[in-house]
Structure 1
Amino acid sequence: MTEFALQLLSLFSIGFLGSGHCLVMCGGMASALQLSMTGSSATRRTELQLLLSLGRLTTYSLLGALVAGFGALLLASLGLALFWLKLLSGLLLLAMALYLARLWFGLNQLERAGALLWRHIQPVAKRLMPLNSRRKALAYGLCWGFLPCGLVYSALGWALASGELLSGACLMLAFGAGTLPSILLSGGAATLLSRFKNHTQVRACAALLLGIYAIYLIWLALAPRFF
């Protein structure tokens, strides 16, 4: 498996295992959206939910491409070495591993910065309610992608470290895809999935694997300069 494929798998895993945090942030919103679909058929509600997720993942991918392009521009304009972006990638992965292990929650602090942007987007999202059309569902999903979330911002930092538009978009798409099961499932299936993800051994194993890969990335960044 190539290094980039491992990065995609890592971000998918982070999205999947960290989506308990997403439910805390998005659970109330998801419930409100469900209520706004009251009266629609089951097929119609499923269609609208899929469009919501398509919008959210589209925003994630566009933001990933944007910050990756910014990273490439930063390298070119300031003459920075790719070493710094690779090191940032490894450090962010290590931070996410610590979060999944519930040893350090510093990522939550990133949400404060994102809240400033969300204040401007939230009124736009509210005007789209109720979600009674495909256009509204997709547009609301695009807004939803800007909801403040420390895990999202950390994943964006990893996209920044990729230094390539397409790579950044793919990394954020993988992260978003990992969050889909928790957001789309409901009832008993969601409860079982939540229990599995929150099992101590599952989280510990995932955090350990991510931590090992983070140290590996940091080593790849540092080795050429110091060894």
Structure 2
Amino acid sequence: MNTDLLAALLIGFIGSSHCLVMCGGIAGALQLSMPAQNRARKLQLQLLLSLGRLTTYALFGALVGYFGAGAMQLAGASLLWLRLLAGLLLLMMALYISRLWFGLIRLEQLGQKLWRYVQPLATKLLPLNSATKAYSYGLCWGALPCGLVYSTLGWSLASGSAIQGGLLMLSFGVGTLPAILLTGSAAGVLQKLKNTSWLRYSAAIMLAIYAGYTIWLAIRRLVF
């Protein structure tokens, strides 16, 4: 499980280039919506925003992890089938990170209906002039449609328990934090680093190897 958490962290960090496209504009707009305050206060509100987003990720991960384990037990099937699914999803995410395949982005269409209900609630919280509003908006922000988030949720579904599913999504969310929290030149440097071919391909290869190992273990135990 520790290896899974490290893999989720890596996926969040490398894949957060997509987060900058999806969420970077939102993060910037939210900063502008904060009333004029000192830098420490704005940083506190930014951290609460991200904490709310990570809370939603962890809750969704725990929910689908619990559902996945319960469904397999109800069906009388081995949890190894979920592990096989996890390996296949990891392989898909490796292809996404390497930019050889962008099929995960299509998953974003699945979350549009949910976002239509959440967005009006989030809008009512503006301007973000209190800790409660910042954290609550972050909770809503976690429901923003994102193919990478949904694929990681699929991985949580195959995790085998609510705790593991929640930890996977939390680790993924922590991996996205540098891209979301950094602004200006620092964000530019980080973005340039993550866009370098050697880093993307190295991360994708490591994930692909881990995916292959996960698939092999599941098949070996199912067959033998």
TM-score under structure 2 length normalisation: 0.98
Alignment of structure 1 residues 169-180 onto 2, 5 Å? 169-180=166-177
- Residue 136 of structure 1: CA displacement? 0.3
State the secondary structure of the residue aligned to 2:18: helix
User: Cα offset for 1:81?
Assistant: 1.6
Aligned to 2:88: 91
C-alpha displacement of 1:226: 3.2
State yes or no: 1:25 paired with 2:15: no
Query: What is residue 60 of structure 2 aligned with on the other side?
Result: 63
User: Alpha-carbon deviation of 1:129?
Assistant: 0.5
Q: Could you report, residue by residue, the CA deviation over 1:120-150 in whole angstroms, capped at 9, with x for unpaired residues? A: 0000000101100111000000000000001
Q: Measure, in 1, the Cα distance between the counterparts of 2:6 and 2:94.
A: 14
Q: In 1, are the aligned partners of 2:58 and 2:170 still within 8 Å (CA)?
A: yes
- Tell me, in whole angstroms, the C-alpha distance in 2 between the residues paired with 1:199 and 1:169: 31
Which blocks of at least 5 consecutive residues in structure 2 are unaligned? Answer: none
Structure 1: segments with no counterpart, 5+ residues? none
SS in 1 for 2:23: helix
Percent identity over the alignment? 60
Q: How many Å separate the matches in 2 of 1:47 and 1:226?
A: 52
Quote the offset at 1:38 in angstroms: 4.2
Count of paired positions: 224
Q: Does 1:222 align with 2:219?
A: yes
Q: 1:153 maps to which residue?
A: 150
Structure 1 residue corresponding to 2:44, chosen from 33, 47, 71: 47
Give how far 1:82 is off.
1.0
**Partners of 1:116 and 1:84 in 2: CA distance:** 30
1:37 aligns with 2:34: yes
What amino acid does structure 1 have at the position aligned with 2:104? L
RMSD: 0.9
1:162 aligns with 2:159: yes
Runs of 4+ off more than 3 Å: none
1:131-176 per-residue CA deviation (whole Å, 9 max, x = no partner) reads 0011100000000000000111111111111111111111111000
What are the equivalent positions in structure 2 for 1:176-215 lying under 5 Å apart? 176-215=173-212
Q: Distance in 2 between matches of 1:109 and 1:212?
A: 25
Q: 2:160 and 2:209 mapped to 1: Cα distance?
A: 23
SS in structure 2 of the partner of residue 131 of structure 1: coil
Query: Which amino acid in 2 is paired with 1:151?
Result: L
Q: Could you tell me which amino acid in structure 2 is paired with residue 110 of structure 1?
A: L
Q: Distance in 1 between matches of 2:73 and 2:220?
A: 23
